[in-house]
Amino acid sequence: MNLTIENILLVGSLLLLLSIFAGKTSYRFGVPTLLLFLAIGMLAGSDGIGGIHFDDPKIAQFIGIVSLNFILFSGGLDTNWKAVKPILKEGVTLSTLGVLLTALTLGLFVWYITDFTFYESMLLGSIVSSTDAAAVFSILRSKSLALKANLRPTLELESGSNDPMAYVLTIAFLTLVVNQDQSFMSIVPMFFLQMVLGGLSGFAFGKLSKFIINKIKLDFEGLYPVLVIALMFTTFSATDFVGGNGFLAIYICAVYLGNQDLIHKKTILKMYDGLAWLMEIVLFLTLGLLVFPKQVIPFMGIGLLISLFLIMVARPVGVFLSLLPYRMKLRRRFYISWVGLRGAVPIVFATYPLLAGIDKANMIFNIVFFISVTSILIQGTTLSIVAKWLHVALPEKVKRASPTDLLLAENPKAEMKEILVSPNCFAADKKIVELGFPKNAIIAMIKRDDGYVTPHGSTVIEAWDKLVVLADRPEIFNEVDKTLKGEQEHT
């Protein structure tokens, strides 16, 4: 079947529905949903029962980049800075030095066992060097896996921030494969330029985006998520235009925004959560359609050998060596090594050699695809079991709901207090979003004159308002009082 304007929406919607229904029941059988999405795409492709012919790496790469924008941005918005801050050094080290060591170790192995040139081997190692944000976010959150000692924020920070490093290494070694007269040192300036500009642009666009979101007055609440999408793509494309790493920029921008007070923040977060799932499904379906299983079969032997070496040797080498300066129990290092999930990102990066037209591009693509599938199948299905074996999982009875969950539950065990806003109070004539309200307290309602006001981030608090405040414990009201009086500004 050839995709046309007339049938593309019908075929796309049917595949989407099938993926959702399949994903709903997949974990009953211990199969990660992302693998199901990939399998459905393959079944619908040229070698499958659907017979849909799709062989355009350029379109697949475009869909991949757009999807990764949403997935990384959503992951950044969900990143809690307070949880990440204690393990920031470990996470950044894993996402930079850890990725580099993994790429070099695997590249040397590929060079030793195949007829690949040194740079071709390093290119393959670079493509699969990073853990996949879509796979890690999806599997950890869908399993609701509670881990000890900041392991979960470490894993999520690494997976969300290590794609830029893998991307830079991929582009760098691809440049050396295409231009064999260039020296290795010629790519070093490009590497630092990409990372530095990406980091600075991400932070700058984060501050600019917060200003725009909170200051602009839109007539409809539904337009705010659309505004954030525009700001997200602007951040990525502008950073890429000036020579920076767009993936790093949007992740840093999202982490900054996710930890700020924004107007209609709940609406934005809910929309991005849904869009991230949509993009994960679309991305895996597209890559499934792009793959021809008959072409993968001849490379299964070498692919399995490389995949096992990556899982059992290259990834642990990258993790253990990069974490040497930090104090961390051995079993936690082993678990971080095991959660080295490869997914859609390496397959997207593998389209770059295809478009560059290098000799072994097709072989690299099929090997990378096989590595991603085996990684999700072997590691993705065993995260909970390995966590229990290594004693890094929290017992069920220790898992507790977050303060936010307590506040928003149907029958929350929350404290309630009415607070009167006097005319000389700092909060008078201020928007709620401007107050920096404590994270584990909410203004549930405002009593004004003879009526009630349902508060939003853009709601202006007036003198003599009575704020109905909910908090998860009585001590939080002290922070609330300080915030309303303006005493928190200098703390």
Q: What is the DSSP string of 159-203?
A: HHHSHHHHHHHHHHHHHHHH-TTS-GGGGHHHHHHHHHHHHHHHH
The mean per-residue pLDDT over the stretch 66-92 comes to: 86
Contacts of 336 (CB under 8 A, 6+ apart): 94, 151, 154, 155, 158, 319, 323
C-alpha–C-alpha distance, residues 224 and 154, integer Å: 30
Model confidence over 263-279: pLDDT tens digits?
A: 888 888 888 888 888 88
Specify whether the CB–CB gap between 72 and 62 falls below 8 A: no
Look at residues 215, 218, 217, 213 and name the one whose alpha carbon lies nearest to residue 268: 213
Model confidence over 99-155: pLDDT tens digits?
A: 999 999 999 999 999 989 999 999 999 999 988 766 676 666 655 566 766 787 888
CA 41, 45, 48 angle in degrees (round to 5)? 100
Ranges 26-35, 57-66, 102-111, 146-155: which has the least confidence: 26-35
Specify whether the CB–CB gap between 338 and 379 falls below 8 A: yes
Q: What's the pLDDT band for 91 if we cut at 50, 70, 90?
A: confident
Q: What are the Cα distances from residue 147, in Å, to 188, 227, 335, 440?
A: 37, 35, 10, 22
C-alpha–C-alpha distance, residues 311 and 205, integer Å: 36
In eight-state DSSP terms, residue 87 is G
C-alpha–C-alpha distance, residues 338 and 316, integer Å: 8
464 vs 367, higher pLDDT:
367
Specify whether the CB–CB gap between 211 and 200 falls below 8 A: no
C-alpha–C-alpha distance, residues 302 and 294, integer Å: 15
Model confidence over 170-189: pLDDT tens digits?
A: 988 998 898 877 777 777 78
Site of tokens 């690494």: 158
In 2-150, where does DSSP find H-type helix? Answer: 8-26, 33-44, 57-77, 81-84, 88-93, 99-113, 118-127, 133-142
Q: What are the Cα distances from residue 167, in Å, to 129, 173, 307?
A: 9, 10, 19
Sign of the torsion formed by the C-alpha atoms of 294, 299, 301 and 305: negative
β-bridge pairing 430-431 and 466-471 = unpaired
pLDDT of 28 strictly over 90: no
How buried is 43 (Cβ within 10 angstroms: 0-12 exposed, 13-18 middle, 19+ buried)? middle
Site of tokens 């869009």: 275
Among residues of the chain, what percentage have pLDDT more than 70? Answer: 87
For all residues of the chain together, what is the average pLDDT? 82
The whole-number pLDDT of residue 84 equals 82
Which residues pair with residue 350 across a beta bridge? none
In eight-state DSSP terms, residue 132 is P
Edge to edge, the sheet with strand 451-453 lists 415-420, 466-471, 441-448, 451-453
Which residues pair with residue 466 across a beta bridge? 420, 447
Q: What's the pLDDT band for 364 if we cut at 50, 70, 90?
A: very high
The whole-number pLDDT of residue 404 equals 42
Fold of 8-398: Na+/H+ antiporter like fold (1.20.1530)
How buried is 445 (Cβ within 10 angstroms: 0-12 exposed, 13-18 middle, 19+ buried)? middle
CATH code 3.40.640.10 for 403-485: no
Model confidence over 404-448: pLDDT tens digits?
A: 444 444 334 457 788 888 888 888 888 888 888 887 788 888 888
Site of tokens 């941005």: 73
Look at residues 92, 89, 94, 81 and name the one whose alpha carbon lies nearest to residue 206: 81
Q: How many residues does the chain have?
A: 491
pLDDT of 29 strictly over 60: no
C-alpha–C-alpha distance, residues 104 and 107, integer Å: 5
Model confidence over 223-263: pLDDT tens digits?
A: 889 999 999 999 999 999 998 889 889 999 999 998 888 88
The structure tokens listed for 296 are: 């993968």
pLDDT of 90 strictly over 70: yes
Look at residues 343, 392, 380 and name the one whose alpha carbon lies nearest to residue 152: 392
pLDDT of 489 strictly over 60: no
**Other CB atoms closer than 10 Å to residue 64's CB: what's the count?**
24
Q: What's the pLDDT band for 5 if we cut at 50, 70, 90?
A: low
Question: What ranges do the domains of the chain cover?
Answer: 8-398, 403-485
